[in-house]
Amino acid sequence: MSLFEVEGLRKNFGALRATDDVSLSVDAGQIHALIGPNGAGKSTLVNLISGLIAPDAGRVRLDGVDLTPLPMHARVRAGLSRCFQITSIFRQSTVMENLLLAAQAHAGSSLRFLGERNREAALRATADELAARVGLSQALDRIAGTLPHGAQRQLDVALALAARPKLLLLDEPMAGMGPEDSQQMTALIHELKRDMAILLIEHDMKAVFELADRISVLVYGRVLVAGSVEEIRGNPQVQAVYLGT
Ligand code: ADP
Ligand code: MG
């Protein structure tokens, strides 16, 4: 059994089948990339998985737990965390303040028996660790909204990591990035793989081919093909539909 499994997920918007019987799985320690043209249903799938919207059919399972009936926050507690494309950042606050809030939100009961001083120190240590993880240790006092785009993305990843996920959902983490920022984000994602499974939705094919252990191609809400990087690269159907060659 895989760590994470999506089984027969379906979502209709009126007459439109945005997600049509989608099944995929992510093994522990692996990166599964989801690609597909605009409007293929990638974001809808992410929203179904994270619990932002409810499916018309199908199940989502993580580490043996059926997440399907659970609200978003309970899914996060069960080990599923997603990046929100910067929208989860408090733009007027510093990087440190953002990280402290995230650390506190996910500290749970572990700090309950500490005094105030020790509690603060523990949160600060977690915030420092998260900053180091994504390469923002030198930017702790910066106002988040004034950071360059790439650094805001890194902060968004750090906020998702505060939940200590078993599975991290990344919806187009390289969107709007130049080659240098993309390369840095690629290195970060590669590094994160040591500690968690990742479902990566991304348009940047260079990054996808570099990072993915497995790729699913979504077209009109359905999985057209799934396979290794080599299989997807060489698949004439994929080249015709998606790569446009
Ligand atoms: P992708 O992320 O692959 O570009 P989306 O999941 O955003 O695709 O969209 C898939 C299809 O579902 C599109 O045709 C889109 O217009 C439609 N869609 C997405 N969200 C909604 C919604 N809330 N209401 C109606 N239609 C939607
Ligand atoms: Mg999308």
Q: 44 alpha carbon to ligand 1 midpoint, in Å?
A: 6
Q: Are residues 14 and 60 in the same domain?
A: yes
Predicted structure pTM score:
0.92
Number of separate domains in the chain: 2
In degrees, rounded to 5, the angle at the alpha carbon of residue 30 between the alpha carbons of residues 177 and 239 is: 60
Which residue's CA is the nearest one to ligand 1's atom 12?
18
pLDDT of residue 103: 93
Residue 85 included in any domain: no
Q: Are residues 55 and 112 in the same domain?
A: no
Residue 49 included in any domain: yes
Q: Are residues 223 and 202 in the same domain?
A: yes
State which residues have CB under 5 angstroms from ligand 2, the bound ion: 42-43
pLDDT of residue 245: 47
Length of the chain: 245
Q: Are residues 139 and 191 in the same domain?
A: no
Q: Are residues 47 and 101 in the same domain?
A: no
Residue 187 included in any domain: yes
Tell me which residue of 72, 70, 12 sits closest to 44, measured CA to CA: 12
Q: Are residues 216 and 238 in the same domain?
A: yes
The 8-class DSSP code of residue 11 comes to E
Q: 45 alpha carbon to ligand 1 midpoint, in Å?
A: 9
Ligand 1 atom with the smallest distance to the CA of 53 is 23
Q: 39 alpha carbon to ligand 1 midpoint, in Å?
A: 6
In degrees, rounded to 5, the angle at the alpha carbon of residue 104 between the alpha carbons of residues 101 and 109 is: 165
Confidence check: pLDDT of 242 > 70: no
Ligand 1 atom with the smallest distance to the CA of 40 is 3
Convert the pLDDT of each residue in 34-44 to its tens digit.
Answer: 999 889 999 99
User: Ligand 1 site: residues with CB under 6 angstroms?
Assistant: 13, 16, 18, 36, 38-44
**Structure tokens, 208:** 């996808």
Residue 108 included in any domain: yes
Domain CATH code at residue 61 = 3.40.50.300
Residue 145 included in any domain: yes
Q: 140 alpha carbon to ligand 2 midpoint, in Å?
A: 30
Q: Are residues 175 and 73 in the same domain?
A: yes
Convert the pLDDT of each residue in 155-172 to its tens digit.
Answer: 999 999 999 999 999 999
ipTM entry: 0.97
Q: Are residues 74 and 173 in the same domain?
A: yes
Which ligand is located closest to the Cα atom of residue 37?
1
Instruction: Single out the residue in 151, 180, 204 at which a domain terminates.
Output: 151
Host domain of residue 24? 4-79+165-243
Residue 134 included in any domain: yes
Which ligand is located closest to the Cα atom of residue 11?
1
